[in-house]
Structure 1
């Protein structure tokens, strides 16, 4: 059920989506629970600015934008995210312009969103003018063509940077109306410290049963703060 999505900001990201997930009753016990092992020992010292995860909750089949639309989940915390689904239908016509998304859905596996439309518009311009694509939107670029390469050399990167600047300055015009139909999620977030010391040892034992080397490393990390005390 997990699908890989790579980003330049966070590296390997994973999306989980299934029609089998159906909420039967409200509250934390009726939702999806994930325990994330962040492998803090593998972070790059001096370069990593913090420990945690980035999570985005979105409508199924829409293209993910974790950098722009995600939430930070801190390490050593239990985080509950309450959701309220908001279904939006725009009438279009005399009431204003909207996009039914059929054009995008014909050329890709993703459902139309305004963010995806803007990214695809910029991607098309980069592919046309620079003859390469932005690695951030590789999946969108591959839905248009499987021939071009990513922008790597100095000339390509300079060309791409200039187009991105023009895009930010509204010098590249993209007609991206709001979708005629979309689902949004209002979020409420609460947190507490997790796990406590006793439960941490239960989790450690579960890791030790599977990987002795990782177990020794984690025991060292746990013992070090104890020595400092």
Structure 2
């Protein structure tokens, strides 16, 4: 066989560069001949140079296309896409269609802001005392047919609506639960509007606003509430909706709702957990405090500067312009507030219906009950316009679950590691006929070649016996 030495030492190769190159070529040829990669054995076996070149071009073309496809697959994987049936999106830029939306202020709005600033100059205790008391507003309360009372409500103060009351917040004891759907197994309230105590110019409608929310979230009934009109029985049927969103790298949602909320003004006042709405409002309010030296009376003041700065005066051109500039920046999403949406969120889908209340056949019985409440009720239900007065001042509200089936919306990765491996395997098999076994063959061949080279480099005079057919190197 070519390459044998003439000194009778069979089974060894000469250490000259030519012999080393010949040994390496034979080793590579043997690996190509037994390779399971489509095209590689054809290149090695072809005796015609044209055919060898053709197979080489085909193999390199397949390698190039496969590389392009694999790079595209990795790009698709590291895009961190996800699939979801429904996603809740909040974006300030989408809420206002015109950049100058906040420039024009109506006369009614100006009067409202002036009164709002006047109230903001008083303490929270004074503002609460000026608002409606639940003891006067709540005429009757029942939960699953069992009587409830103002003790089941927690009070908060809303800068736009005044005193607000949360039923079943859980802050003063165990939360109430219901185990059956339907109006008989929910909350039923009879409410007194007290129109005679409304402040002139502060509101244009009479009634209530109701917001259904998770106990740990801050309600914003002025923006999100359901209007409850006097003279009607309003029924709100609920279905619970749970949302699970993927955190980084798939999306920008907040997983821990209790961290990094020290600047949230609503957390400071009511110890609520993180909510995107409160974060956006707090970001806006803190920016107003920092740049204008006052706070917007539409929202709560930060406790960090409480009683050290005053509410921005609507009669001050400088402070009004400063407020307007920040409002425009917020509308254009230029405040750079870090307010991602929560990764897990519980909300409620509502179905609202109403009917005239009380019915004519029920009036006499209702009047008898109302006469027992207080002197104001007793005087009006015994007057000539008892029916009209009742329909202008009394409202009934029912809140209950429509059904206990709830919607669960979960974001899942659109492209996972098994998908990536499967697609890469498909591309390797389609273009080159490669498999996992082929990869091990390539690794084995690379190891043999490296062992051959390192052995020759380590000792150029050392003789090595190479058995190409058995794929072994004997030193």
CA offset at residue 43 of structure 1?
A: 4.2
Q: Which moved more, 1:122-131 or 1:35-44?
A: 35-44
Q: Which moved more, 1:157-166 or 1:43-52?
A: 43-52
Match of 1:115 in 2: 277
CA offset at residue 157 of structure 1?
A: 4.2
Distance 2:200 2:153 in 1: 29
The correspondence of residues 1-229 of structure 1 with structure 2, limited to 5 A, is 1-16=152-167, 17-18=169-170, 19-43=174-198, 49-100=204-255, 101=257, 102-104=259-261, 108=267, 109-138=271-300, 141-142=302-303, 144-153=304-313, 154=316, 155-220=318-383, 222-223=385-386
Unaligned runs of 5+ in 1: none
CA offset at residue 7 of structure 1?
A: 2.9
Unaligned runs of 5+ in 2: 1-151, 390-475
Query: Hey, which of these two has a bigger chunk of strand by percent?
Result: 1
Q: 2:155 is paired with a residue of what secondary structure?
A: strand
Which of the pair has the greater relative contact order for Cα pairs under 8 Å at 6+ separation? 2
Distance 1:147 1:224 in 2: 47
Q: Indicate if the aligned counterparts of 2:159 and 2:299 stay in contact, CA closer than 8 A.
A: no
CA offset at residue 133 of structure 1?
A: 2.0
Q: How high is the TM-score relative to the length of structure 2?
A: 0.43
CA offset at residue 162 of structure 1?
A: 2.7
Q: For residues 159 and 4 of structure 1, do their structure 2 counterparts lie closer, same or farther at Cα, with a shift above 3 Å needed?
A: farther
Q: For residues 78 and 210 of structure 1, do their structure 2 counterparts lie closer, same or farther at Cα, with a shift above 3 Å needed?
A: closer
Deviations 1:52-91 (A, max 9, x none): 2110001112111112211111211111111111111212
Pair member with larger Rg: 2
Q: Which moved more, 1:153-162 or 1:9-18?
A: 153-162
Distance 2:284 2:320 in 1: 14
Q: CA RMSD in A?
A: 2.7
